[in-house]
Amino acid sequence: MNRRADRPQAYRIFSVALELAPADRALYIREHCGRDARLEQTVNELLAIASAGPKTIGALRGDAEPALEDRTGWECGQFRLLELLGAGGMGAVYRAERIDGVPQVVAVKLLRGEISAARTERFLAEARILARMEHPAIAHLIDVGIREGAGWIAMEFVRGPPITDYCATQRLDTAARIRLLLTIADAIGMAHRNLVVHRDIKPSNVLVTEEGHPKLIDFGIATALTDPTDHAVPGSTEVGRLFTPHYAAPEQVKNEPATVLTDVFGLGALAYRLLTGIEPYAQAGTAWSYLHAVLHQDVAQPSEAALAAGRDIGAVRRLRGELDCILMKALARDPARRYASIRDFADDLAAFLACRPVSARVPSMGYRMAKFVRRRTLAVSLVTLLAVSVLTSAVVYGLQARAVAQARNVALRRGEFLEELLKSADPDEGRRDITVAELLTTAAATAERKFAGEPLIEASMLGVIAQTQADLGRYREAAVANDRQLSLLRTQDGSALEIGRALTIRGLLLRAQGQWPESERALMEALPMVRERGTAEDMCVLLNMLGAAQSHTGEEVAAEATYREEIRIAAGAGPALQDQLMLAYGALSVVAGGEFGRYAEAETYAHRAWEIAQGLLAADHPDRLIMENAYARALINVGRPAEAEPLFREAASAEARVLGADHHDTLVTDLGLVEDLIELKRSAEAIELALPLAHKIDTVLGVDNGYAQTAWADYGNAACDIHQDQAGLDALRHVEEVRQRLLPPEHRLIHSVRTSIGVCLMHLHRYAEAEAVLLGAASGLERARGAGFRPTQSAFRALRDLYTAMNEPDKAASWAAKLRS
């Protein structure tokens, strides 16, 4: 059937077809297979495997995995297996009932593989110890046995979701999550006193019942399955098999014996996941990278990991400080630096809940170089800076935060080996209590001394130091290292790419300090070097930062060209850079719409970004929601507010759920909805949303934040619309005042709010005042952005209405003539 000679041909047709849109595949295959049905079938099989994954192979082979063989109906001891619930690494789990009719439902785990006669006794003995453990938070073991060589374990049947799902669906707050953790800790502590170690604490092993009680399952099973005599041959147990990435302790990864401290790590990892929403070492996607990360790097500080993952600011604040310290201590790589017992760990969590002092102190992070690979506080300062400087669009913040994160990842990847290098170069490695700052200073000096003859290595190291200092928010120190790195690279014939990358970091540093023009210069200098040698990703990251810098310095034309180049490169790189493509389209839409008033075009770009987001990201992904928001905004601008409304509502509710109601992105989307309602002339609804929203933004983002002003302006406009004129006027005057304080005179946003003020004054019949304000606003806006700009048109429309009200039809007509449909 599958003729050998056909194989290359089938492979080629398959490879091409895979790149085509599914709709085009059939035609292509038919054309290229001619009438060869067997060839066509082979190609279709290949496509099926490629799209459905390796599971289809079992079906193709016609063999089920042995462990998946359904044993329903089997009798194990006094139980009969009723239904297969699932299968995992250790075996398959069934729901089972008592044969003798006593109403008892249990879970029976059938273990994979055979238990040798020699180990049977040991297995049963271990199990008997486990059966003695009674704790309300442990699914207790009921019976064990061996059937046809396979071990089985009957356990209490726990009905309920994994603890992570439970916390999410119940939307539990931090305190409630900690209380669950304390219950689990109590159970683990009891087991430890019985000399039983769980070894595999992870969300899927902690279920929560309907009544809200957590239950640990699989207690001690890993232990029962390990024959201690195995240790006679070091490294002989199944390395890489019994560890769960993100929850396994370093000693487990190294295949060293597990101790109670291993469970401290496991519970720490679970706590990290529950309190931050992300897993420890989340960036380590594969078993390899987890192995490397957990052995060489400290886990990212919880508050920073949460921040980087886009959790809401409130959650980040709650983590910062004591919870950071507690979790870092539980997750210390060196067991000796962890809590000495589960009890100590639990005591600190309880102390935190009760607001008593905790025992964990700020960890002395210095003695290892691991922090080089740790995300730092850069994002915090960016949020603050952007909040002041970005007024134009809702999407800009999200886009930039992402671009920065990506730029950082590029730099961090390079850091891995330098980390090792620096560790060996550091004479103070054994000292335990030096601070990061001290260490970096030492490292910089060491670098100079130690690598005196190897300037390029020194330069690379300085690059890592610069990055770390920047991450710590120490921009001046970062700049010193970055300067020295650049001068070394330049005088010592460093590669153009290295120089380009160092300049990219410089651009990042300058931008973090709000020095946009300087940032732009550095990035422009980097551009030709990266263009020549860098990867497509290097280029996209650079261009994205450059585009942002250009639009900040008022060079929108250049920014547009930059984003267009980014689009070209990202589109040319195929599926790998789709996320960059999405960012570039999003940014381009902002430039085209917000800056140039080319709304129809902006809508096209925003639509494209939204399409990519839908194809690329899960429904709840924050970036996808940002794009949905951006597209909805673009729809308002092309006069399609009715279509925008469901998008805003969908994004807002998803963001509230995923990010929290107080998250920056959520607030911005809520704001979009308010503007949409105003556009739809549903001002009463708009006011109801706008007033609490404006207060909330003031509190969460600060009064000086651009969005706060937008919210008050929206409230003011809506209030004027339904003739609550004085309230509206007060709000608008407040916005004018803040903007005058923060923005350059004549800024278009000052003129925009003045247009609204003029409308309000007109409603109050204060015509003379209204006329002066509106005339100023109209000419200011026309100068700034031209007559076709939406706010300019609004000012024209207000003037027409004003003169109509003042009974001056000629003037009204002349302003009406300037209106575009």
Partner 1 sequence: MNDETGSSSLPLLLERWSRGDRTAFDALLTQLYDDIHAIAVRQLRQERRLTIRPTELVHELYLRMIGANAFQFQDRAHFLAMAARVTRQALVDEARRSRAEKRDGGTPVTLSDEHLGALEGGFDALDVDALLTELQGFDNTAAEVVSMRIFGGLSIDETAEALSLSVATVNRRWVTGKTWLAHELARSS
CA-to-CA dists, residue 63 to 46, 56, 66, 91, 606, angstroms: 18, 11, 8, 18, 48
Least separation in angstroms between residue 63's CB and partner 1 is 7
Of 57 and 557, which CB lies nearer to partner 1 in the complex structure? 57
Least separation in angstroms between residue 3's CB and partner 1 is 11
Could you tell me which stretch among 194-202, 230-238, 595-603, 689-697 binds partner 1 (CB under 8 A)? 230-238
Task: Spell out the residues 6+ positions from residue 236 whose beta carbon is closer than 8 angstroms to its own.
Answer: 230
Could you tell me which stretch among 14-22, 384-392, 427-435, 805-813 binds partner 1 (CB under 8 A)? 14-22
**Among 34, 73, 101, 234, which residue sits at the site for partner 1 (rule: CB under 8 A)?**
234
**Which two three-digit tokens encode residue 47?**
């496509």
CB atoms within 10 A of CB 68: 11
Instruction: Give the distance from CA 627 to its chain's centroid.
Output: 15
**Among 5, 21, 66, 745, which residue sits at the site for partner 1 (rule: CB under 8 A)?**
66
**What strands, in cross-sheet order, belong to the sheet with 79-87?**
75-76, 79-87, 91-98, 105-111, 150-156, 141-147
CA dist., res. 152 & res. 96, Å (int): 12
Q: 244-247: long-range contacts (C-beta < 8 A, 24 or more apart)?
A: 244/200, 244/202, 245/281, 245/284, 245/286, 245/287, 245/290, 246/202, 246/273, 246/279, 246/280, 246/281, 246/282, 246/284, 246/290, 247/200, 247/201, 247/202, 247/279, 247/280
Of 12 and 490, which CB lies nearer to partner 1 in the complex structure? 12
CA-to-CA dists, residue 335 to 62, 261, 432, 488, angstroms: 47, 6, 15, 41
Of 346 and 422, which CB lies nearer to partner 1 in the complex structure? 422
Least separation in angstroms between residue 235's CB and partner 1 is 6
Give the amino acid at 149: G
Could you tell me which stretch among 56-64, 164-172, 200-208, 560-568 binds partner 1 (CB under 8 A)? 56-64
Q: Does 53 bind partner 1 (CB under 8 A)?
A: yes
CA dist., res. 795 & res. 816, Å (int): 11
Least separation in angstroms between residue 203's CB and partner 1 is 21
**Which two three-digit tokens encode residue 402?**
């992402």
**Among 241, 317, 657, 783, which residue sits at the site for partner 1 (rule: CB under 8 A)?**
241
Could you tell me which stretch among 54-62, 719-727, 749-757, 778-786 binds partner 1 (CB under 8 A)? 54-62
Q: Does 497 bind partner 1 (CB under 8 A)?
A: no
Least separation in angstroms between residue 8's CB and partner 1 is 4
Q: Does 445 bind partner 1 (CB under 8 A)?
A: no
CA dist., res. 554 & res. 594, Å (int): 12
Least separation in angstroms between residue 574's CB and partner 1 is 5
Of 49 and 742, which CB lies nearer to partner 1 in the complex structure? 49
Least separation in angstroms between residue 461's CB and partner 1 is 13
Least separation in angstroms between residue 49's CB and partner 1 is 5
**Among 424, 453, 741, 807, which residue sits at the site for partner 1 (rule: CB under 8 A)?**
424
Least separation in angstroms between residue 202's CB and partner 1 is 19
φ/ψ region of 207 (left if φ > 0, alpha if ψ in -120 to 50, else beta) reads beta
End-to-end CA distance of the chain: 67
CA dist., res. 465 & res. 477, Å (int): 9
User: Residue 323: what are its φ and ψ, rounded to 5°?
Assistant: -65, -40
**Among 106, 291, 313, 479, which residue sits at the site for partner 1 (rule: CB under 8 A)?**
291
Q: Residue 362, class by beta-carbon neighbours within 10 Å (0-12 exposed, 13-18 middle, 19+ buried)?
A: exposed
Q: Does 536 bind partner 1 (CB under 8 A)?
A: yes
Of 535 and 604, which CB lies nearer to partner 1 in the complex structure? 535
Q: Does 420 bind partner 1 (CB under 8 A)?
A: yes
Q: Does 535 bind partner 1 (CB under 8 A)?
A: yes
Of 417 and 490, which CB lies nearer to partner 1 in the complex structure? 417
φ/ψ region of 341 (left if φ > 0, alpha if ψ in -120 to 50, else beta) reads beta
CA dist., res. 431 & res. 426, Å (int): 10
Residues between 538 and 597 with contacts to partner 1, criterion CB under 8 A = 573-577
**Among 3, 15, 70, 427, which residue sits at the site for partner 1 (rule: CB under 8 A)?**
15
Q: Does 112 bind partner 1 (CB under 8 A)?
A: yes
Task: Give the count of residues interacting with partner 1 (CB under 8 A).
Answer: 59
**Among 26, 105, 125, 239, which residue sits at the site for partner 1 (rule: CB under 8 A)?**
239
CA dist., res. 500 & res. 529, Å (int): 5
Of 62 and 101, which CB lies nearer to partner 1 in the complex structure? 62
Least separation in angstroms between residue 4's CB and partner 1 is 8
Q: Does 285 bind partner 1 (CB under 8 A)?
A: yes
Of 225 and 358, which CB lies nearer to partner 1 in the complex structure? 225
Q: Residue 173, class by beta-carbon neighbours within 10 Å (0-12 exposed, 13-18 middle, 19+ buried)?
A: exposed
Q: Does 421 bind partner 1 (CB under 8 A)?
A: yes
Q: Does 638 bind partner 1 (CB under 8 A)?
A: no
Q: Does 616 bind partner 1 (CB under 8 A)?
A: no
User: Residue 216: what are its φ and ψ, rounded to 5°?
Assistant: -85, 130
Least separation in angstroms between residue 227's CB and partner 1 is 12
- Measuring CA to CA, which residue among 810, 777, 809 is closest to residue 796? 777
Rg (CA), the chain: 31
Could you tell me which stretch among 15-23, 211-219, 263-271, 297-305 binds partner 1 (CB under 8 A)? 15-23
Least separation in angstroms between residue 495's CB and partner 1 is 15
Q: Does 54 bind partner 1 (CB under 8 A)?
A: yes
CA-to-CA dists, residue 320 to 8, 111, 324, angstroms: 58, 43, 6
**Among 125, 175, 295, 340, which residue sits at the site for partner 1 (rule: CB under 8 A)?**
295
What is the total residue count of the chain?
821
**Among 20, 26, 27, 60, which residue sits at the site for partner 1 (rule: CB under 8 A)?**
60
Q: What is the maximum alpha-carbon separation in the chain?
A: 106
Least separation in angstroms between residue 91's CB and partner 1 is 11
Least separation in angstroms between residue 132's CB and partner 1 is 32
Least separation in angstroms between residue 684's CB and partner 1 is 52
Question: Angle at which helices 174-193 and 342-353 pack, to 10 degrees?
Answer: 160
86 forms bridges with which residues in the sheet? Answer: 93
φ/ψ region of 138 (left if φ > 0, alpha if ψ in -120 to 50, else beta) reads beta
**Among 7, 159, 356, 432, which residue sits at the site for partner 1 (rule: CB under 8 A)?**
7
Residues between 359 and 418 with contacts to partner 1, criterion CB under 8 A = 413, 416-417
Q: Does 136 bind partner 1 (CB under 8 A)?
A: no
Least separation in angstroms between residue 537's CB and partner 1 is 8
CA dist., res. 678 & res. 264, Å (int): 54
Least separation in angstroms between residue 204's CB and partner 1 is 17
**Which two three-digit tokens encode residue 498?**
């290295």
Residues between 244 and 273 with contacts to partner 1, criterion CB under 8 A = 254-255
Q: Does 86 bind partner 1 (CB under 8 A)?
A: no
Least separation in angstroms between residue 43's CB and partner 1 is 10
Interacting residues with partner 1 (CB under 8 A): 2, 7-8, 11-12, 14-15, 18-19, 42, 45-46, 49-50, 53-58, 60-61, 63, 65-67, 112, 233-236, 238-241, 254-255, 285-289, 291-292, 295, 413, 416-417, 420-421, 424, 535-537, 573-577
